[in-house]
Amino acid sequence: GPPFPVFTRQEVACHHSDADRVWVTYGSDVFDVTDFLELHPGGKSKILLAAGGALEPFWALYAMHKQEHVLEILQSYKVGELSPEEPPQPSVGDPYAEDPPRHPALKINTLKPFNAEPPSEVIAENYLTPSPFFFKRNHLPVPLVDPAAYRLHVQDACGRTLSLSLRDLKRSFRKHDVVATVQCAGNRRAEMNALQSTNRLGWGIGAISTACWGGVLLRDVLVHAGYQPGDEGHVCFEGLDRDQSGTVYGASIPLKKAMNPEGDVLLAYEMNGEELPRDHGFPLRVVVPGTVGARSVKWLTRISVGPEESKSHWQRKDYKGFSPAVTWDTVDFSKAPSIQEMPVQSAITEPSPDASVTPGELTVKGYAWSGGGRNVIRVDVSLDGGKSWREAELTGEEQLPGRAWAWKLWQLKASVPTGTKQLNIVCKAVDSSYNEQPDTVGPIWNILGVLNNAWHRVRISVGE
Ligand code: HEM
Ligand code: MTE
């Protein structure tokens, strides 16, 4: 095509609002992203921070943009190039320099922020996921917290702010241990992306893990702060992770869940009997059992109670479910409730799709879980794509009715007859309310790529 027009940084700077069109630069290219503002998964306001200037300082923090699919979107809005006389954008320090070391076996979806899951074959090896293998879902750099200086701020029922040290928390409230599974709403998004891309993190089946969490009950802290069991409203949490614009990670849950004596919502300072690791929220995180992972706020700094849900982007503009009919042009975030309890889920962890299987004995393994404390009562497995089924054998802790917060692991021993060319392994779970999983992704696909709980399928060619 013809060469692109050339602009100075000053000319680009004139395009900094809807009315003047919104231009940004990346490297030596100039883009008009006005038509993308409403489509941006991170929200319009975020792009406007960079309007008229360079993306680099922002993408140093939100470095998951430096992936092929994002750069492709950007490229489609190119309108020009920077004049060669323009000095390059000074490089910024790495906001992720203080992130902790991680286990090399994790499958990394994005490095900065760090989003990673255990390899499939490792997932069902342990009922309690060893912390280094526990999936990690961060939206920002991991804050570095001095535990001695740390304070939890709690807005009490009279509007005052209580300031609690870790010692205060450990001394004043009884310690509880809760075995709970945490699952991200985006678990298994890759299967949705395969049908139609959502342009969002392509999680495999590993954005789910289980730990024994130790800490104090949120209920006890709220009662100490003057709240009563019958009170209405939402409990809002804020993390210590924040971006340049001061945006902090935040989320909320109904006060009813927090105050429910059988809700088991924890402020956890221990994971699997050890100090909470930095990636998982050191020194204190929320664990909301039975509820989507997004509400279990890490690096907790502030708790408040109010009539409304958290105003955070991640409460209002993300982690909601929509009809497959809804597009980015028609979506109305205020119309859908935020995801809280999760639906019934299961997946095959072994054999993995690239495993070499031969005729003879075969062990199929996986996990199954449901939200809201609903127990998994059965897992059905098929080796022929769903024509015939067998029941898998379940293992895992017996938890109280309505408080089954942790997954069940399952396995099925099958024999693969000689001459078999292909196995089409399928699993589906049933929970204590007799909820079952939908058989395909199509009818539940949505623009955010959340809540994929379709039957999980693994196709394997059988060797000699
Ligand atoms: C998410 C594109 C600018 C902040 C995303 C995603 C895409 C995208 C495709 C989804 C990525 C994924 O989940 O894998 C773009 C393009 C931009 C742009 C084409 C060009 C103007 C910005 C700027 C900021 C920003 C300047 C910050 C100041 C975010 C945030 C998310 C996001 C916060 C959500 C991440 C999360 O889920 O935590 N963007 N973006 N973006 N972007 Fe951008
Ligand atoms: N809390 C803070 N402060 N910042 C975050 O980015 N991510 C949330 C939640 N709590 C997040 C957070 C999401 S989306 C999930 S799924 C869980 O943490 C993941 O917890 P994990 O990293 O311990 O597995």
For the chain, give every residue range classified as CATH 3.90.420.10. Answer: 107-335
For the chain, give every residue range classified as CATH 2.60.40.650. Answer: 345-461
- Going from the Cα of 42 to the center of ligand 1, the distance in angstroms, rounded, reads 5
| Most informative mutation of 37, 47, 56 for ligand 1 (most atoms within 8 A of CB) | 47
Q: ω into residue 104 within 30 of 0, thus cis?
A: no
- Going from the Cα of 298 to the center of ligand 2, the distance in angstroms, rounded, reads 6
Q: Which long-range contacts (CB under 8 A, 24 or more apart) does 168-174 make?
A: 169/215, 169/216, 169/221, 169/267, 169/269, 169/284, 170/216, 170/269, 172/224, 173/216, 173/217, 173/220, 173/221, 173/224, 174/216, 174/217, 174/220
Q: How far apart are CA 165 and CA 152, in angstroms?
A: 6
Cβ-contact 306, 289 below 8 angstroms: no
Tens of pLDDT along the chain (464 residues) come to 789 999 999 999 999 998 999 999 999 999 999 999 999 988 898 999 999 999 998 998 898 898 888 999 999 999 999 999 998 887 888 999 999 999 999 999 999 999 999 999 999 999 999 999 999 999 999 999 999 999 999 999 999 999 999 999 999 999 999 999 999 999 999 999 999 999 889 999 999 999 999 999 999 999 999 999 899 999 999 999 998 788 899 999 999 999 999 999 999 999 999 999 999 999 999 999 999 999 999 999 999 999 999 999 999 999 999 999 999 989 999 999 999 999 999 999 999 988 889 999 999 999 999 999 999 999 999 999 999 999 999 999 999 999 999 999 999 999 999 999 999 999 999 999 999 999 999 999 999 999 999 999 999 999 87
ipTM: 0.90
DSSP string, 197-254: --SS----S-SEEEEEEEEEEHHHHHHHTT--TT--SEEEEEEEEE-TT--EEEEEEE
As a CATH number, domain 107-335 is: 3.90.420.10
Check if CATH label 3.40.50.620 holds for domain 6-82. no
List, chain by chain if needed, residues with CB within 6 Å of any ligand 2 atom: 134-139, 182, 184, 239, 241, 249, 280, 293-294, 296-299
Check if CATH label 2.60.40.650 holds for domain 345-461. yes
Q: Please tell me the residue having the least CA distance from ligand 1 atom 16.
A: 74
Q: Please tell me the residue having the least CA distance from ligand 1 atom 12.
A: 200
For the chain, give every residue range classified as CATH 3.10.120.10. Answer: 6-82
Judged by its nearest atom, the ligand closest to the C-alpha of residue 199 is 1
